Amino acid sequence: MTPASLPTQLSELTATDALTLFRQGELSPVELTRDCLERIDTLNPKVNAFVHIAHDGAMKAAKGAEARWMNGSPCGPLDGVPTTLKDLTLSRGMPTRYGSATTSPDGGSDVDSPVAASLRKAGAVFLGKTTSPEYGWKGVTDNPLHGVTRNPWNTALTSGGSSGGAGAAAALNLGMLHQGSDAGGSIRIPCSFTGTFGLKPTFGWIPQWPTSAMSTLSHLGPMTRTASDSALMLASMARPDARDGLLGNPHGIDWNAPLPLSLEGWKIAYSPTLGYVDVAQDIRLRVDEAVALLSRLGADVIEIDPGFACPLDTFNTLWFAGATQVVEKMTDSQRDQMDPGLLDIAERGSNISLSQYLAARRERTALCAHMQSFHEQWDLLVTPTLPISPFAAGHNVPPGEKYTDWMHWTPFSYPFNLTQQPAASLPCGLDDNGLPVGLHLVGGKFQDMKVMHAAMLLEEMLPGLVYPRP
């Protein structure tokens, strides 16, 4: 019999709930995995969250987990938990297509990336691969190979990107743990648009191999319904791997550190606009309400901007240069199959001089130093995750609006890829049209647990979202 304190429907379980039920013998990983796969088969045609569904592999892994739990010997802290990987992540036995028709459909990888290897060792059951735009190049999710990914809250709208498939899957609980990547907001954007939680950890905690074309802008992280589930996932994801030639700090932290009782003594800077961003009024209101809860938790909250100018030119120089690394190896026939937007930014990148590139590197270093100084005084910086609500699917920018590039409507996310700080998006309510709003929590470099602890305390106070089913 399911304990009264836990959800009665499998579709509402968190990973933490599922592990409790496995431990008590009240639920089998086979039963949970089968339920997830059945719901994926039903719902994926409506949202296009998955590009590959590993029916046979998932059920085989779940049966192994079931046997281990029956023997009282789980192989790791995630044994039997249904999990997904992004289509940019190499994983043994599953294809990795990068959302691109230029890749081969034949077979899968014979090797795991570091994050896939760590999650597999922890016992995660891989349900499949989630959608990404081509090579993860933009803040929404559609690609020439797999089409458009849609938002479960309203399938006419985008789920964001580039981890848009993971965001849609998390909102629908098609698996409890979802791996995303974030080089300019690609975890936090879809989490904001789908009402889910995601963390871009400090660069280096989670190793990457092969290296992203966006190099040290790119972070890997968890996407889940709750901050607690993300902490559970991080404890297994953040494992050193010698293949990562850009590893920042291989020693790690205790992602399961005890939660503080309050935020007493914390100093939190609230910047609703960073000093230069236009934010929709209904989003500002929801974020203001969530920030007020930080004061109720004991924190000293002051409205103040972090004091830097918009770093878009710096980001674009590095981003466009990275895009050239994807496109320059393609043949003419392959380029004809690619997203025109990716080809466009690669062309812009090819016109960047070495002097301009090095100047952007210096500007990035200066911004890092500025934020390091800022966080010597402030425990957290809080902003909206996005200034706008989800817009029409299949578009890179809101139709008819003032934006021309996806970076124009994501001004709160990409600065903190430049600085490599931990940053999370936490759902904090609904806008005037009933769509999710994200609260952005940014910590000093290597201060990820401050972000996680604030998020976990806040989610206990915020009204829970009632997730839709399209």
Q: What pLDDT, on a 0 to 100 scale, did the predictor assign at position 38?
A: 98
**Residue 19 to residue 3: CA distance in whole angstroms:** 13
Which residue blocks in 238-352 are alpha helix, DSSP H?
281-296, 312-327, 332-335, 340-350
Structure tokens belonging to residue 417: 């890829």
Give yes or no: 186 in active site. yes
Helix (H), strand (E) at residue 150: strand 150-151
Q: What is the pLDDT of residue 248?
A: 63
Please, which residues bridge with residue 434 across strands? none
Per-residue pLDDT reduced to its tens digit, 288-337? 999 999 999 999 999 999 999 999 999 999 999 999 999 998 999 999 99
For 435-463, b/e burial (b = at least 16 CB within 10 A) is bbbbbbbbbbbbbbbbbbbbbbbbbeebe
Beta bridge partners of 143: 147
Among residues 162, 228, 389, 413, the one annotated as catalytic is 162
* Pairwise CA distance, residues 235 & 257, whole Å: 10
Distance CA(299)–CA(297), nearest Å, equals 6
Average pLDDT over residues 402-420: 97
3-class secondary structure, 251:
coil
Of the chain, the percentage scoring pLDDT greater than 90 comes to: 91
Each residue of 14-27: pLDDT tens digit? 999 999 999 999 99
What the block records as the tokens of 466 is 């009632």
Confidence band for 215, pLDDT divided at 50, 70 and 90: confident
Q: How confident is the model at residue 470 (pLDDT cuts 50, 70, 90)?
A: confident
Q: CA 291 to CA 14: how far, in whole Å?
A: 25
pLDDT in tens, 75-115: 999 999 999 999 999 999 999 999 999 999 886 789 999 99
Residue 246 has pLDDT above 90, yes or no: no
The predicted pLDDT at position 249 comes to 62
Residue written as token pair 């932290």: 253
Q: How confident is the model at residue 250 (pLDDT cuts 50, 70, 90)?
A: low
Q: What are the angstrom distances between the C-alpha of 164 and each of 21, 57, 293?
A: 29, 23, 29
Peptide bond into 260 cis (omega under 30): no
Per-residue pLDDT at 2: 47
Per-residue pLDDT, 1: 35
The percentage of residues in the chain with a pLDDT greater than 70, rounded to a whole number, is 98
Strands 177-182 and 147-148: unpaired
Rounded CA separation 193/430 (Å): 10
Calculate mean pLDDT across residues 338-366.
98
Task: Name the active-site residue from 113, 132, 163, 186.
Answer: 186
- Tell me if residue 295 is catalytic: no
Taking the CA atoms of the chain, what radius of gyration do you get in angstroms? 21
Per-residue pLDDT, 216: 92
Give the pLDDT mean for 430-435: 98
pLDDT in tens, 29-39: 999 999 999 99
- The answer to whether residue 432 scores a pLDDT higher than 50 is yes
Mean of pLDDT over the chain: 96
What is the distance between the alpha carbons of residues 338 and 470, in angstroms, rounded to a whole number?
Answer: 30
Largest CA distance in the chain: 67
DSSP-derived letter for residue 216 is: G
The per-residue pLDDT for 445 is 95
Whether residue 252 is predicted with pLDDT greater than 90 in this model: the reply is no
- pLDDT value for 171: 98
Q: How many CA atoms lie within 13 A of 305 on its CB side?
A: 10
Catalytic residue among 86, 129, 445, 450: 86
Do the Cβ atoms of 32 and 13 come closer than 8 Å? yes
